[in-house]
Chain A
Amino acid sequence: NAGVMQNPRHLVRRRGQEARLRCSPMKGHSHVYWYRQLPEEGLKFMVYLQKENIIDESGMPKERFSAEFPKEGPSILRIQQVVRGDSAAYFCASSPPNTDTQYFGPGTRLTVL
């Protein structure tokens, strides 16, 4: 059973461009979470999704950030008009129904020039 997959692993964008981060959960997992990790800081929750539904987006910045988890395909975290402060590691986690434990992917490291 493959683990949580994220791509790309590294992404470089210039200020003002768009970044799209993808996450494929583990097989049988219907819950997806996105977290951001800044240098010297802990992982911070951003958003929790189930298929075709955003359940909790209380950690998402109000502007420029959006997330989706379509019926088919991976979950996408989209950052529009990136700024230098968006540079961070973005991690996706998934969990099966009725289980609290979250399993993390390898992360996407975003660098904004």
Chain B
Amino acid sequence: EDQVTQSPEALRLQEGESSSLNCSYTVSGLRGLFWYRQDPGKGPEFLFTLYSAGEEKEKERLKATLTKKESFLHITAPKPEDSATYLCAVQGSGTGNQFYFGTGTSLTVIP
């Protein structure tokens, strides 16, 4: 069965302190790996889609990378407004269109 594990569960950073979030996955034929941001009481907000190992995507202070077994979300010089839960999901070729989500990393950036 397709599976996604995110680490750490929670992360506290000082403003400006860069770090990375990890998403490890097992999937039969990766169609895509997706990163979302979720604020409390809201729906997931789309950030990135990655399709193949070696691919990288950037948006402001965020950069997502992909290998054959895991993805990293790098946060450079974070600000308090980056505080949120970051979700990773995979879509496999053998499981239709559904996404398998990890449980997320809760990021808190302290001013």
Task: Number of B interface residues at 8 Å Cβ cutoff, please give it.
Answer: 23
Could you tell me if A56 and B98 are in contact, using CB atoms closer than 8 angstroms?
Answer: yes
Could you tell me if A100 and B32 are in contact, using CB atoms closer than 8 angstroms?
Answer: yes
Q: Which of B31, B42, B44, B101 gathers most chain A CB within 10 Å?
A: B44
Whole-angstrom distance from the CB of A28 to the nearest CB of chain B? Answer: 16
Given the known A-B contacts A31-B97, A56-B96, are A42 and B43 also in contact in the complex, defined by CB atoms under 8 Å? no
Could you tell me if B46 and A105 are in contact, using CB atoms closer than 8 angstroms?
Answer: no
Q: How large is the interface on A (under 10, 10 to 19, 20 to 34, 35 or more residues)?
A: 20 to 34
Could you tell me if A42 and B97 are in contact, using CB atoms closer than 8 angstroms?
Answer: no
List 9 extra interface pairs beyond A6-B43, A106-B43, CB under 8 A. A40-B103, A42-B4, A43-B101, A55-B96, A56-B97, A100-B97, A101-B49, A107-B42, A107-B43
Would you list the 5 A-B pairs with minimal beta carbon distance, nearest first? A104-B43, A45-B98, A42-B101, A43-B101, A42-B103
